[in-house]
Amino acid sequence: MFTAETLRSEGVNVEIAVLSKVGGREVNEDACGYCTSGAFFCCVLSDGAGGHGCGDVASQVAVGTVLEAFREAPGGSVETVSMLLNAANEAVVREQSKVAEQGDMRATVAVLIIDLVNATAIWGHVGDSRVYAFRNGTICSQTRDHSVVQSMVDAGFLEPESVRTNPKRSVLTAAIGSASGCQPEIPEGHLPLAGEEVFLICSDGFWEYVDERTLEAELGRAVGPEPWLRALEEELFRNARSNHDNYSAIAVWLSSQDAIFF
């Protein structure tokens, strides 16, 4: 799946491209979606996991729940992001009880909300699907993975490069689908938008093979979100194994009416 669209408002224009493919697997357990509601734009990405091949169910439930909850109560606050992620957790937990094979399914979720009127952005995540924010062509913010390897890197036991290469890189310390609830990570404040920001939301099957230097380098050469994602996908192909994971990404380019990108 590869789609692209431009959404225009009075203050901020949103160009969006969405990429989600099966990779070297039989089933795509990633899911993506986005919608607008009044003054706000919301996009969400989820990477499912679980025995008996139910990861695709978990990710689809998570994405569908986030978008439905956002349409019912649109907003751009920290509380809104927390509500969306907790709603996704509760929905996956309910789904687990419907079929025995779905009992252990989990999912990562990353959510980004743009306030088109006040020109701010807020995001939150659970798991190792990432949100990158770019300003002037460079990364100004990046989410921290909720994984065992990331925790060991933070503690100084492993080098940062291990996040992509360690055999246990996919072992999570937090995920959607816990009966005891989830604790999403959300920045304390909003990111004020200058009108030329770029965001990338992606699953680990994407960022594992595309490092941060490549993200920035290809962004500097791209003329829009779709060619940027296509260039990054080519880099993924050059580095990935034949049986590599599903990979998904949402690229969001923001511009004011008078802004010119890079």
Q: How far is CA 2 from the centre of its chain?
A: 16
User: From residue 118, how far is each of 92, 156, 180, 260 by CA, in Å?
Assistant: 33, 40, 35, 20
User: If you compute the radius of gyration of the chain from its CA atoms, what whole number of angstroms results?
Assistant: 17
- For tokens 């989600």, the residue is 20
For residues 57-91, one letter each, b for 16 or more C-beta atoms within 10 angstroms of the residue's C-beta and e for the rest, the string is bbbbbbbbbbbebbeeebbbebebbbbbbbbbbbb
If one counts every other C-beta atom within 10 angstroms of the C-beta of residue 160, the result is 10
> Over its length of 262 residues, how does the chain's per-residue pLDDT go in tens digits?
667 677 766 667 899 999 999 988 989 999 999 999 889 999 999 999 876 568 899 999 999 999 999 999 999 999 999 999 999 999 999 998 887 777 789 999 999 999 998 899 999 999 999 999 999 999 999 999 999 999 999 999 999 888 998 988 889 999 999 888 898 999 988 999 987 899 999 999 999 999 999 999 999 999 999 999 999 999 999 999 888 999 999 999 998 655 433 3
The alpha-helical segments, DSSP class H, found in 43-145 are 55-72, 78-96
Residue 41: which of 17, 18, 65, 8 has the closest Cα?
Answer: 8
DSSP helix, strand, coil percent of the chain (3-state; round to 5): 30, 30, 35
d(CA 55, CA 35): 23
- State pTM to two decimals: 0.93
What is the H or E stretch that residue 45 is in? Answer: strand 40-49
DSSP state at residue 260: -
Q: How many residues does the chain have?
A: 262
Structural domains of the chain, with CATH: 2-256 (3.60.40.10)
